[in-house]
Structure 1
Amino acid sequence: MLPSPAHAAPRRVPINGAGSTWTANLIDKWRRELVQRQIYLNYNPTGSADGRQQFTMGTVDFAVTEVPYGLDGDPPPVRQFTYLPLAAGGLAFAYNLRADGRQITNLRLSGDVIFKIFTRSITRWDDPLIKADNPGIVLPAKNILSVVRQDSAGTTLQLTRWMSTRYPDEWNAYCGTPPCGATPLFPANGHVLQQGSLGVTGYVQQASADGAITYVENAYAIGARLPVAKVLNEAGYYVSPTANAVAVALSAAEVVDNPADPATLDRVFTNPDPRAYPLSGYSYLVAPTAIERGLDIDKGYTLAESASYAVCEGQQSADVLGYAPLPINLVRTAFDQIRRIPGAEVPADPIAGCANPTFAPDGTNTLLETAPQPAECDNRASGQQCAGSTIASGIDLTVSATQINPGDPLTLTASVRPFGVTGTVAFLRGPDATAVGSVEAIGGTLAQLTTHTLPPGSYELTARFDPTDPSLYASSVSLPVRITVGGTPGDGRQVEISAEVAPGAFSLAVASPTANLGGGVVGGSAAGPLPAATVVDLRGTNGGWDLTAQVEDFTNGVATIPGAQLGWTPSASKVSGSGAVLPGFPVVPGTVVGGLADGVTLCSAPPAGSAGTFVCGADLRLDVPDTAAPGDYAATLTLTLA
């Protein structure tokens, strides 16, 4: 008998996806982190409906959506697929309301009131039912401007799913075409109509929209600096859509094998835990389960690796971006579906090696043990009302270097939003949030600390902002920044070894080791071209490649400008060969965390179309902060071909 033919092990290849705009910020963070693992994931946030359509057509390898197939009028695709939980969040009720010239920032709403506001049964802010929810606030005699999505939306589906579950008869009577059930299109009876999440938040933000309220993903409310209502839960507590409150609520989520509607959130809406936020939900990764429509084993393997990272380690900073980490029940469900992706390699016990922040490696549900209880002033039975604000502040952290020797100085700089807010900043390290130095006061936008005492090791630093007046803004924590403090040099001797290596069948050459940016001015921009990078791929495998770039912070020896202040517009062209080359996406300068500071694609060639010689370049722009000191700044940009 002849032996079975040997099969090559699956390899990581670039994969493409499209869909949800709500999940885009989190996916973009994962994309940048996956580059460090030699995984190249391209994602285009064109909206859930377009993502589902592209997946149906086979033009993308995966889609992300809040709305399952069928609920928006689009039938499930012929190709085989599955849904797996990806990103969680709370449906927030963001509002703009003033009384006696002062902004109200601690509004509370029961489910009955929310339902009546969005079915136009309550139209005034001084309605007795709203007063009953808010004994500590004098509510103004103003009309309620209820703002709803004009377009098909996952947020509308989430709200109407809750409405039709909790108030089925009243909901059917309102929508006029019973049985209505859950729908991504809101019946527009007497509401202000706006397009997209940016549209509804932008409308509510306006000074002229005093009295407006809308439903939106909590991440958008955070970005818009809008207060959000605390919602009454089944235990009788008013709770904000924080990461802990959403994750606790979703611990009761059931996932059913129903392609038309895979989530059952009834038990989430009625979760009896006093910490649970009732209107919690999550988006789905639409993943292929058969080799067809351009999917092969390599792509399936890469997609499974990406999804496994997303539901585990990728959840660690979800809360900082306005999302919530997936609890263990949804992570188990996700891995059950990841196993169905062709080429997936999932361990027998994926929980044991999963670095998700809601549970321990042994499967202990630490979330339910450590999530804080609500304050008693938010217990409806207490007759009291907490005074703290639900408007999010923001804080970003940069460091003078990401790798130092023990004893070397490291400067930590925190930038707080909005400008002019006062309070204190604490710099922290490691999972136990050990303090680094002393607490720093802030009264403008920046707090800075230089330390020489960081111990050897590799760990993450964060910064936490606590406002002076908690009735104006809530506290916030920065995204983590990973640093390495190297070991102390020994007594050995160093030997420098050099070797000349000629370019091979797969090579990268850069026209110049320097790039000069001209026209720079404090508060303005400096611009110039990136030296041309030539990629040669004559390997014969035609397996595709990706050229990425990452920039360090700019420094003049004394001051620094964050590397994320550098943006670019890439370009790419073919010199010869049968392949094709694609330029990377433009990067807008000015994001303190992200962009070129974390690594992005300059250009890439797809599998089965990468043979030849190609030239890639970019127009560079450095936006100089108005707080920067004048001088000649320099930074190192590293190009990596893989």
Structure 2
Amino acid sequence: MKLRSSTRTLALSTALAATLALAACGASNEDDSSSSGSDSSGSSDAPADLSGDLAGAGSSAQQAAMEAWQAGFQGEYPDVNFSYDPAGSGAGREQFIAGTTAFAGSDAALKDDELTAATERCGGGEVFELPNYISPIAVIFNLDGVDELNLTPATIAGIFTGAITTWDDPAIAEDNPDATLPSTAITPVHRGDDSGTTQNFTDYLNQTAGDVWTSEPDGEWPLPGGEAANGTSGVVEVVTSTAGAVTYADASRAGDLGVASIGVGEEFVAPSAEAAAAVVENSPAVEGRGEFDFAIEVNRTTEDASEYPLVLVSYHIGCVTYDDQETADNVKAFMEYVISEDGQAAAAENAGNAPISDTIRDEGQSAVDAISAG
């Protein structure tokens, strides 16, 4: 499988306020920008005046980034009635396939059967999957007196299978020889909804700790026990209010909770946007997909300590050809803003994720250019 280019730009630049100011400026000069070539703010090929509805649904991990994208997009196109329901990745894919939304946000690429259904929803035409949001998944914990932890993949798997039940367990102590660990009971918290974050987390455990975690990757939590909550905010709220609790969630939502460093090779690596982007950039594309489907097979088993393999790549999924011109124009303009340098900088500022690389942007632009009405 061919690896993506290792050349990347990882700077987290351009404040959200500046981006929105640029968007507003773009809106006041739409007559000029509509006739120009592609620029960093996107929407260059879309009509100067857009209106109607644009509805999406899906990933709750994307929510903070989506707020920034919505603000920037509607700064340029205020007459578009934009809505996004952060109902979870599985629900987002279901709503898109059912035709109730124009696009989905998903922390996991379409499964083969979903891809078949999505192709049918798109009238038999091409489906696009654009990796527009890259962020580390953090192992987040609430443990009085402990701010930092190192956890190997096998230890994480033991915690979430229920084999490790207290924070002073020998396996955790071995990972943290200099820490004073309390005997507090561990409360593992998982997503109760069909979640792309769960899909990524269980895929990571399956690949890196297969002797302990024997379940197949799945967006629905596969084991009994533990506490369940819906959405990223739901699991974070449970951990915040429960001493000894631990969960997995988009790192940007950790707040003041503890965040573990995970074992990568012989080192322990903390989640960061840079390390998440690095592992994605050096991961192969999923084979056998369509021309505008850029799903990525994340290399979970890397031993490079500059990479953080517990990462989610969140996609925007839609049709290359829509039934009506209004929907096609709105989707095209929104996706072009999202992949633009301004759109990615706004998301990074608001959500703390990693901007996509130039390689991924160029791939995405080929799909955006192809969006039209049939």
Same fold by TM-score greater than 0.5: yes
2:263 alignment partner, one of 225, 228, 232: 232
Shift of 1:108: 1.4
Contact 2:199–2:218 at 8 Å: present in 1 too?
Answer: yes
* Residue 29 of structure 2: aligned partner: none
* Residue 235 of structure 2: aligned partner: 200
Contact 1:72–1:183 at 8 Å: present in 2 too?
Answer: no
Q: State how far apart, in whole Å, the 2-side matches of 1:333 and 1:232 are.
A: 32
2:50 alignment partner, one of 1, 13, 16: 13
* Residue 353 of structure 2: aligned partner: 323
Equivalent runs, 1:63-462 vs 2, <5 Å: 63-70=104-111, 76-77=117-118, 78=120, 79=122, 80=125, 81-98=127-144, 103-168=145-210, 170-172=212-214, 175=215, 181-206=216-241, 209-222=242-255, 225-234=256-265, 236-258=266-288, 263-267=295-299, 269-292=300-323, 295-296=324-325, 298-312=326-340, 313-320=342-349, 321-342=351-372
Q: State how far apart, in whole Å, the 1-side matches of 2:307 and 2:104 are.
A: 29
Shift of 1:214: 0.7
Contact 1:68–1:262 at 8 Å: present in 2 too?
Answer: no
Deviations 1:391-432 (A, max 9, x none): xxxxxxxxxxxxxxxxxxxxxxxxxxxxxxxxxxxxxxxxxx
CA separation of 1:164/1:264 partners in 2, compared to 1, >3 Å: closer, same or farther?
Answer: farther
Shift of 1:29: 1.1
Amino acid at match of 1:338: V
Contact 1:146–1:192 at 8 Å: present in 2 too?
Answer: yes
Deviates more, 1:70-79 or 1:144-153: 70-79
* Residue 7 of structure 2: aligned partner: none
Structure 1: segments with no counterpart, 5+ residues: 1-8, 176-180, 344-642
Corresponding position: 1:22 with 2:61: yes
Contact 2:294–2:363 at 8 Å: present in 1 too?
Answer: no
* Residue 36 of structure 1: aligned partner: 75
Deviations 1:77-128 (A, max 9, x none): 3123221111111111110112xxxx31111111121112112222221122
Shift of 1:264: 4.0
Aligned-residue CA RMSD in angstroms?
2.7
Q: State how far apart, in whole Å, the 1-side matches of 2:193 and 2:278 are.
A: 30
The structure whose residues are more often strand, as a share, is 1
Q: State how far apart, in whole Å, the 1-side matches of 2:246 and 2:46 are.
A: 50
Contact 2:131–2:294 at 8 Å: present in 1 too?
Answer: no
Q: If the length of structure 1 is used for normalisation, what is the TM-score?
A: 0.45
Deviations 1:254-304 (A, max 9, x none): 22255699644442x233442221201211111211232xx32x5434423
CA separation of 1:246/1:318 partners in 2, compared to 1, >3 Å: closer, same or farther?
Answer: farther
SS in 1 for 2:306: coil
Deviations 1:5-60 (A, max 9, x none): xxxx9625235122122212212212211233336461222423333233223333
Contact 2:279–2:307 at 8 Å: present in 1 too?
Answer: yes
Contact 1:31–1:41 at 8 Å: present in 2 too?
Answer: no
Corresponding position: 1:45 with 2:76: no
Q: If the length of structure 2 is used for normalisation, what is the TM-score?
A: 0.75
Q: Identity rate of aligned residues, in percent?
A: 26
CA separation of 1:106/1:307 partners in 2, compared to 1, >3 Å: closer, same or farther?
Answer: same
Q: State how far apart, in whole Å, the 2-side matches of 1:56 and 1:73 are.
A: 8
SS in 2 for 1:142: coil
SS in 2 for 1:254: coil
Shift of 1:183: 0.5
Equivalent runs, 1:491-530 vs 2, <5 Å: none
Q: Which has the higher contact order (CA 8 A, sep 6+)?
A: 2
Q: State how far apart, in whole Å, the 1-side matches of 2:277 and 2:235 are.
A: 25
Larger radius of gyration: 1
Contact 1:201–1:220 at 8 Å: present in 2 too?
Answer: yes
Contact 1:49–1:65 at 8 Å: present in 2 too?
Answer: yes
Shift of 1:63: 1.8
Shift of 1:202: 1.2
Contact 1:92–1:241 at 8 Å: present in 2 too?
Answer: yes
Q: State how far apart, in whole Å, the 2-side matches of 1:117 and 1:258 are.
A: 36
